[in-house]
């Protein structure tokens, strides 16, 4: 009954540019602000809700029916949902799945997440594509369009904000859980390498995949220095995904810069961007970001196309321009850096490797939860890099 009652309450979504959408309430009652983005995944809404990379953002699902298979504790990607708000066309009040434990609306209310449903999410997505991601406000309590637009315009953006400090762990800990019955066959021997993983907003499935490879995994807070990480005597260092502007975490950039050449490094998503800045490259904000589980990426080593899971609003720019080339490495203060993967949607840098140092990174999510597993080989590459370093 709770899910039905909330759908009777009017709600409003206003964007900073003055665009207004009227719908009905979803989730916790109240008001919330954040940068409005859209995600094109057809499923995996629970993993999206619990992805710390969405801190500071309100997510629009482009697929019209969300919540059909409910919520269960096994599919969480972190301890709680982190996003600022949730926007859907239609939230299913009566999920049908043997694994379901509660409805989407119940879950959002339980965790205090304000949402809206009943709006034209296709129109909203088209608007964001044309005009870019921007600050917005969802309100169940103030339905005056002029006031809500003004509050959306006054809301803080994500550029320059350190959102990592809001999602990282408070202290160092060990992770031992594997993917279990969901594990992908890797066809190679397990190597008990010791890996230190920087938690910039790390997802559980990344940690599971690291354990699947046989690693002894220690997670450290984002503020950990290079010397503190090295004191744990790792064979390699992993740089995780996370939210927001990579330039807003100078302490992490400094730590990675000090680790370059001292231990093998593997970065994903925000970790990729932080590595780029540590190497002396640049980052920039995309118009509406990459959020979905179906983004085509070209592996420039093999000329094979990978279908990838992505969630980021910033990207790495190689050299002095946005142009990138696999054949011509970029020259940085730390040696040559080669472009390895490129987006087939907008040519954005999706992967790179250092030619003179044991370090590489990708912008997308090879652990893909949710999403395809085309890029799972990247974890095996980390194993080979550490084996070479140890030899």
pLDDT tens string 106-134 = 999 999 999 999 999 999 999 999 999 99
Which range (70-84, 181-195, 212-226) has the least confidence?
A: 181-195
In the chain, the domains with their CATH numbers are 2-154 (3.50.30.20), 164-390 (3.40.50.880)
**Statement: residue 191 has pLDDT above 80:** no
Strand ranges for the chain from DSSP E: 10-15, 20-27, 31-39, 57-61, 65-66, 85-87, 90-91, 114-117, 134-139, 173-175, 194-199, 216-221, 236-239, 265-268, 282-299, 304-317, 330-332, 335-343, 349-354, 359-362
Active-site residue (options: 35, 213, 269, 306)? 269
Using left for φ > 0, alpha for ψ between -120 and 50, and beta otherwise, residue 233 falls in left
Residue 23 DSSP symbol: E
Q: Looking at residue 171, what is its pLDDT?
A: 97
Overall average pLDDT of the 197-220 stretch: 95
131: annotated active-site residue: no
Could you give the 3-state DSSP secondary structure of residue 328? coil
Nearest by Cα to 352 from 285, 271, 235: 271
pLDDT at 341: 95
Answer whether residue 184 shows pLDDT above 90.
Answer: no
Checking if the pLDDT of 334 tops 80, the result is yes
Active site residue 169: no
8-state DSSP, 182:
G
Q: What are phi and psi of 62, to 5 degrees?
A: -75, -25
Mean pLDDT of the 58-62 span: 98
Tokens standing for 131? 């005009």
- Catalytic residue among 140, 290, 312, 365, which? 365
Q: What's the mean pLDDT in 8-13?
A: 95
DSSP state string for 76-131: -SSSS--BSEEE-SEE-SS---TT--B-HHHHHHHTT-EEEESS-HHHHHHHHHHH
Considering 35, 106, 213, 367, which one is annotated as catalytic?
Answer: 367
């Amino acid at each position: 009954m709770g899910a039905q009652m909330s759908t009777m309450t009017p709600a409003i979504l206003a964007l900073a540019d003055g665009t207004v959408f009227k719908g009905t309430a979803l989730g916790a009652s109240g008001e919330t602000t954040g940068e409005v983005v859209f995600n094109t995944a057809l499923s995996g809404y629970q993993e999206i809700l619990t992805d710390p990379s969405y801190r500071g953002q309100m997510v629009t699902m482009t697929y019209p029916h969300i919540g059909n298979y409910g919520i269960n504790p096994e599919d969480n990607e972190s301890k709680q949902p982190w996003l600022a708000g949730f926007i859907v066309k239609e939230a299913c009040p009566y999920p049908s799945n043997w694994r379901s434990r509660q409805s989407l609306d119940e879950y959002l209310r339980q965790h205090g997440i304000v949402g809206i449903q009943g709006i034209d999410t296709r129109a909203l997505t088209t608007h964001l594509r044309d005009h870019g991601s921007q600050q917005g406000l969802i309100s169940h309590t103030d339905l005056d369009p002029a006031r809500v637009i003004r509050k959306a315009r006054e809301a803080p953006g994500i550029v320059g904000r350190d959102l990592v400090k809001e999602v990282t762990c408070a202290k160092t800990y060990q992770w031992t859980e594997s993917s279990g019955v969901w594990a992908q066959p890797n066809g190679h021997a397990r190597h008990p390498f010791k890996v230190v993983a920087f938690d910039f907003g790390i997802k559980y499935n990344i940690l599971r995949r690291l354990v699947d490879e046989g690693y002894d995994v220690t997670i450290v807070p984002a503020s950990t220095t290079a010397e503190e990480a090295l004191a744990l005597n790792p064979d390699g260092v992993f740089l995780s995904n996370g939210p927001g502007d990579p330039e807003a975490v100078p302490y992490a950039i400094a730590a990675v810069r000090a680790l370059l050449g001292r231990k093998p490094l593997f970065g994903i998503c925000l970790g990729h961007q932080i590595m780029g800045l540590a190497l002396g490259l640049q980052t920039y904000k995309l118009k509406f970001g990459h959020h979905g589980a179906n983004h085509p990426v070209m592996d420039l080593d093999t000329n094979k196309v990978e279908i990838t899971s992505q969630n980021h609003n910033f990207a790495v720019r190689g050299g002095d321009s946005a142009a990138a080339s696999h054949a011509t490495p970029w020259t940085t203060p730390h040696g040559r850096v080669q472009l390895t993967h490129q987006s087939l949607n907008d040519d954005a840098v999706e992967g790179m490797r250092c030619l003179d140092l044991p370090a590489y990174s990708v912008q997308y999510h090879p652990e893909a939860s949710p999403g395809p597993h085309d890029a799972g080989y990247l974890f095996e590459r980390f194993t080979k890099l550490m084996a070479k370093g140890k030899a």
